[in-house]
Structures are given as C-alpha cells and as structure tokens.
Amino acid sequence: MKWQGRRRSGNVEDRRRIGGRGIAVGGGLGGIAILVLYLILGGNPAELLSNLQAGAPASTTESGAPLTEKEQEMGEFVSVVLADTEDVWGAEFERMGRTYEQPHLVLFSGQVDSACGYAGASVGPFYCPGDGKVYIDLEYFEDMQRELDAPGDFALAYVIAHEVGHHVQNLLGISDQVREQQNLLSESKANALSVRMELQADFLAGVWAYNARERADFLDAADIEEGLNAASAVGDDRIMKKTQGHVVPDAFTHGTSEQRVRWFKKGLETGDFNLGDTFSAARL
C-alpha cells in the first residue's frame, strides 16, 4: 500500500505502553482459539468482555518503555488507514444528509479497559458501541500472518475497515435493531443474525476499499489479493477446522470464508452504499 506521506487521523489513542499483559489469555492462535471456542459454545462477546473485566487489575501504570521503530511505523500506518475511512464515510454520510461521527481507534498491548468491559488480547480487534471506539492489539496481525497465513499490510487495513464498518452500523441504528431481534430468537437464529452483521461489515470494508482505490493511487492488485485472503482466513469454517478439526454451522457468528470473501468483494467491486437494497437483512 502506498500509505507514506498521506494524511493521518487525529483519532488514534495509543495505549501500548500503559499497563502490562497480565490478563492476556495466551497468545498467537491460542488466543484466537479461546474466543472462537467460546462463541462455538454459544457465548456472547460482550459477556466474555464482562468476565475478563472481573479479573482486571484495579489500576494500570505507564511502563515507560519507548515504542520501537517498527511499533511507531505500525501506529502511523493505522492512523493513515483510519484517516482514509474518515474521508470515505464522511463523504457517504454527507450524501445521505447526515454527519459522520468519527470513531476513535485505541491501540493497546495485552489488555484494555473499554465501555464494553475489560478485554485481553485473546478477544482480538473489536468495536465497542458503548463508547464508539475500535480496539486493536497489533500483535493480532502477527498472529494472522503466522497462524492464519494472512500476510500483508492490506490485511491489517481490511480488519480496521471491517471494525469501522461496525461503527457505521451503530450510527445508522442497525446494531440496535439486530440486538433487539436477537433477544427474541433462538440461539441458532441469533447467530445467523450475527453472521449477517459481520458480512455487512465486510461489505462496508469493501465499499471503503472501492472508494480508496477510486479517489487516489492508494491500492494495487496485490493489496486487493491480500484483503481477499484475509477475509478468507477469518471465516468461521476455516478457523473451526484449524482449532477443533470440524465445523459446526449453527455456531457460525461471522460467516464462512466464501461468504466473507464474497461480501467484501461485492463492496469492493460496486462501492454501492445502498441502504434500501444491500442492507436488507434478507439479502445478507
């Protein structure tokens, strides 16, 4: 990605030198596996965050260690990608006659306190509707490269754009509508709605990539392949096979590799932010 020299967002909160790694549940794929298995057993991510909060330390302190050159560069990259999502969604919301409320993105190491609870690294990147912030431990992307075979800087950009997609859903009231419906449904049907939400966020990530490619010389064919590979790598079926050796479709909460690639690609190829069509639950 040609990201150097581009505008950086002022909405990045860097907490990577606050606190320690006290409640991180393992690391690498082990951390991902714990979250996936939790979801397979019918768990709710919000409940997992609450449980982690119960074991959180009373306070955190500055570690004092300076960021490495690589860590600084990663922070700059995240800031550039976030800035580009601000530009794209700002323009889209303006076309709808609305104002886009920019989310903050929190970089952390090992553990973080959010309005959704106290979370460890095993939770992975997440969006908290309670405070409208995206939370990312950048070591997750080393896990993606090493354990899920999803290398490349655009793989990271795809994940950021996906989480920002959840922010867009929150601003449009889609998240609240889905949660209300889930409270009235069986577990398997509630999971099916979660899948639709995640595929919608993948679609929104594709819409961002479409606009990023159209507006500036920002992405090339290799970047797109990295994004498609990342979408495939985080499919429920692929992760389940890797972590437990078999697939449980009724426990899917994010969609299969094929579905995630298809919806990211749909947004990437059309850039069609049409709420009356693409955002219909029946079509997701």
What is the DSSP annotation of 236-278? Answer: HHHHHHHHHSS--GGG-SS--HHHHHHHHHHHHHH----TTTT
Percent of the chain with pLDDT over 90: 29
Short-list 190, 140, 184, 181, CA closest to 162: 140
pTM over 0.85: no
Quote the pLDDT of residue 135: 95
126-128 and 133-136 as β-strands: parallel, antiparallel, unpaired?
A: antiparallel
Q: Would you say 273 and 213 are in contact if contact means Cβ atoms under 8 Å apart? A: no
Alpha-carbon distances, residue 29 vs 131, 145, 160, 178 (angstroms): 28, 10, 19, 29
Question: pLDDT > 70: what percent of the chain?
Answer: 72
Polymer length in residues for the chain: 284
Sign of the dihedral defined by the CA atoms of residues 33, 143, 226, 7, in that order:
positive
For residues 35 and 138, give the distance between their C-alpha atoms in angstroms, rounded to a whole number.
17
**pLDDT recorded at residue 256:** 84
For the cut 90, the answer to whether the pLDDT of residue 68 exceeds it is no
pLDDT at 149: 65
Count Cβ atoms within 10 A of the Cβ of residue 121 and give its class: 0-12 exposed, 13-18 middle, 19 or more buried.
buried
Q: Which residue has the higher pLDDT, 42 or 210?
A: 210
Confidence of residue 92 (pLDDT cuts 50, 70, 90): very high
Predicted pLDDT at 151:
61
C-beta separation of 172 from 187 below 8 A: no
Q: Which of 267, 229, 283, 284 is nearest to 88 (CA)?
A: 267
